[in-house]
Chains A and B, each alone.
Chain A
């Protein structure tokens, strides 16, 4: 079983749509959780951290369910500029960040 699993997509949505990505992780000792964004031929960049209570940053909402070892990202009112690959990332103390394979989002006009 892979450490971090994501649906690779692609998710093709029109502008203004709401889209949700899911992610599961296998190691219950994982302590920190993130969503990173990677544009084509660019490096990954932190989109947002994910907290147990859930957190929101503008149009983006992240949720964590530790019992189910499940992380989600909701994007509301999709923009063309949201087109990218979204990487689910987990971390345990003293280890490197473990990346999922990413979910590709394509937003069209």
Chain B
């Protein structure tokens, strides 16, 4: 059983389109994240949800809107896609504690053309 699963794995789309990426975790964790890894391989936090509530919202264009229908799911919707949105998007989850290990999904490679 995959602990953190994202779909789709690959996404190629045209500029201006709207797309969604889905994430689900079966670890029973309270906290989920979206990270963006750009072409320079830098993993940057975008959003964090704890028990369906937004707790971290880094400086991200408001074209990006996360949604957490329940604590096991955190989806990412992107409006009006731009070339610069091309990156790998990783979903992750942790259980807060002294040593919060993060479990990552396999990533969604988004290419905007």
Contact = CB atoms under 8 A, between A and B. Distances in A.
Contact of A46 (B42, B45, B48, B102): B102
Interface residues of A, number: 21
Interface string B8-35: 0000000000000000000000000101
B99 interface: yes
Given A42-B106, A94-B55, A96-B48, A101 B100 contact: no
B85 to A, nearest CB: 19
Contacts, number: 49
Contacts of B96: 93-94
Contacts of B45: 96-98
B43 interface: yes
B46 to A, nearest CB: 9
20 contacts: A32-B98, A32-B100, A36-B102, A43-B104, A43-B106, A44-B102, A44-B104, A45-B104, A46-B101, A46-B102, A49-B101, A91-B100, A93-B96, A95-B48, A97-B45, A97-B94, A97-B102, A98-B45, A99-B44, A102-B43
> What 8 A-B pairs come out closest when comparing CB atoms?
A43-B104, A99-B43, A96-B45, A96-B48, A101-B42, A46-B101, A49-B99, A97-B102
